[in-house]
Structure 1
Amino acid sequence: MSALKLGEGPGIRDVPHVPRAGGAHLLLLRNLWVHKGHSPWTMALYSIFEPVLYLLAIGVGVGRLVGDVAGVDVGYASFVAPGLLATAVMNSALHETMEAAFTKVRYDRFYQSVLVTPVTVTGVVVGEVAWAMLRGLITAVGFLVVITAFGLVPSAWALATLPAALLVGFAFGACGLAVTTYIRGWHDFQYVQLVLLPMFLFATTFYPVTVYPRVVQFVVELLPLYHAIQLLRGLALGRIEPALLVSAAYLVIMGVLGLVVARRRWTRVLLH
């Protein structure tokens, strides 16, 4: 049995003669309509407030003591900023597909109501992931404006972090939506934080992977946030290397697998 049993009930079925991905755009438009009272800058502010504090306290404050990062030849704040950007995008995407999605299915019964319309389960999954990507992009734009104002963007390649942020939002949003189907109650989000917090601290957000012994480096290089940071950091600093393609491919595969699992799990939760 699935951990989440809230979608059970008569009358909830895919509507015949509707495309398999039908309705995703309608769900995305609905989410935009719900947030119409918030400007993009207000939405970005909510998401970047915490990482900006980290940037000021650690990137700028500690950066005055650290100086340039060995092997990277940029100031410490410029090194940290893309890591915090990737973290902010990840958190924005996960919020929409985890806490917000859990509220919709557990308390609002929103998805159950949507499925009596022409919107399909696939439409729900794709629409929510698309919304997570959009939220991640809004966060990335806001954070990029902030670090540009601080003088922490040394290359025009930093603009490429915006489409890359969509990829990060896709990867984490799809996986977050899949994980949400296993959440039994609010207490289970503590286990999610138990994974996210160490990943945030050790996935090269604040220092390069070379500070670790080789065995630890191998473990760190398996983390999804590591690849998100490597991709955005490389673009932000104008260090365009073949390794960025590896990180991009990792995130694409992660997102596709997350989307497949999410589709199957939400079908089980909502239709059985």
Structure 2
Amino acid sequence: MSVVDTGRRTAVLQRVLPSGSYAGMARRLVERSALLYARAWMVLLSGIFEPLFYVLAFQIGFGALVPVVVGPGGVELSYVAFVAPALLVASAMNGAVSETMSMFYKLRFDGLYDSVLATPLGTYDVALGELTWTVLRSGLYAVAFFGVMATMGLVTTPWALLLVPVALLVSMAFAAIGMVCATLLRSSAQFEYIHLLVVPMFLFSGTFFPVDRYPLPLRVIAELSPLYHGVELARTFSVGVLTPSLLGHTAYLLALTAAGLYGTSRRIGKLLLS
């Protein structure tokens, strides 16, 4: 993106957002997070292994019990090929939620955002900077996971290359909503409420079996989950069967991202500037 395009985007956002909430300097928070994790690189590395163990477990264990599953467009898949794309986006969800929950400590205990808002950065810069870092971190995991899938022979179509952008989109949506949740929490004990939502989403959003097997009321609830839309995108691209529904899934996740960014900016302003 050229300097001119960046300047135009900044000018548009400054007109749309409340005065003083955006200075076009969100990258400063990204740089801070990168420098911080440069000293804790083992934390980043550890997040790669969990999804790897999941894939190996399904390859060695469940794959022998469920030899064939019908995927998008009626394509027959091995069970590990059915589950792997969903695990990729689920790992993006887990990484995003974990990272944004750290925002609670930055907000309530570290006083980081009080210091940040004393600089030219505004509340929307904070929200965008935290979102960008979370997406970058999730992208690292997604690329590593995709490499494992390719090594295991689970990448069979060029469309599967879009699995990484899908993971980034899922990370964006969960990071944006997660940041809003972080601003609403009053104690770390309330993290249990977040887990109470994330764990059922992981299990019942089509990650391990199609949601069309559910009774209609449960299917409707499952289809409201952001992870469901990410799973559908990933699984569809993994087999190379493109349908118009992909646009709807993408729009849903983008809408959540926009709503979360705006909500986070407003909440930080209410908590620290009011």
TM-score of the alignment, normalized to the shorter chain, above 0.5: yes
The TM-score, its normalising length taken from structure 2, stands at: 0.86
Aligned to 2:77: 74
Q: Contact 1:181–1:265 at 8 Å: present in 2 too?
A: yes
Alignment of 1:16-165 (within 5 A): 20-37=22-39, 45-70=45-70, 71-98=74-101, 100-165=102-167
Bigger shift: 124-133 or 48-57? 48-57
Secondary structure (helix, strand or coil) at the match of 1:35 reads helix
Deviation of residue 44 (structure 1)? 5.3
Q: Contact 2:163–2:238 at 8 Å: present in 1 too?
A: yes
Deviation of residue 109 (structure 1)? 1.3
Secondary structure (helix, strand or coil) at the match of 2:262 reads helix
Deviation of residue 23 (structure 1)? 2.0
Aligned to 2:15: none
Alignment of 1:256-271 (within 5 A): 256-271=258-273
Q: Deviations over 1:221-263 (max 9, x none)?
A: 1111100111112122222221111110110111111111111
Q: Using the alignment, how far apart are the partners of 1:256 and 1:21 within structure 2?
A: 18
Aligned to 1:3: none
Secondary structure (helix, strand or coil) at the match of 1:181 reads helix
Q: Using the alignment, how far apart are the partners of 2:54 and 2:65 within structure 1?
A: 16
Higher relative contact order (CA 8 A, sep 6+): 1
Instruction: Provide structure 1 residue ranges, at least 5 long, that are not aligned to the other structure.
Output: 1-16
Deviation of residue 198 (structure 1)? 0.8
Correspondence for 1:194 among 193, 196, 214: 196
Identity within the alignment, %: 42
Bigger shift: 227-236 or 51-60? 51-60
Residue 227 of structure 2 corresponds to residue 225 of structure 1: yes
Matched residue type, 2:107: V
Q: Deviations over 1:4-49 (max 9, x none)?
A: xxxxxxxxxxxxx96724320111111112122356xx56532232
Q: Using the alignment, how far apart are the partners of 2:197 and 2:166 within structure 1?
A: 23
Q: Contact 1:102–1:180 at 8 Å: present in 2 too?
A: yes
Deviation of residue 205 (structure 1)? 0.5
The TM-score, its normalising length taken from structure 1, stands at: 0.87
Deviation of residue 143 (structure 1)? 0.8
Deviation of residue 164 (structure 1)? 2.0
Deviation of residue 53 (structure 1)? 2.1
Alignment of 1:230-241 (within 5 A): 230-241=232-243
Q: Using the alignment, how far apart are the partners of 2:181 and 2:139 within structure 1?
A: 22
Runs of 4+ in 1 over 4 A off after TM superposition: none
- How many residue pairs get aligned? The number is 253
Q: Contact 1:44–1:142 at 8 Å: present in 2 too?
A: no
Q: Using the alignment, how far apart are the partners of 2:43 and 2:75 within structure 1?
A: 33
Aligned to 1:216: 218
Q: Using the alignment, how far apart are the partners of 2:127 and 2:54 within structure 1?
A: 32
Matched residue type, 2:50: E
Q: Using the alignment, how far apart are the partners of 2:236 and 2:59 within structure 1?
A: 17
Q: Contact 2:223–2:229 at 8 Å: present in 1 too?
A: yes
Q: Contact 1:43–1:138 at 8 Å: present in 2 too?
A: no
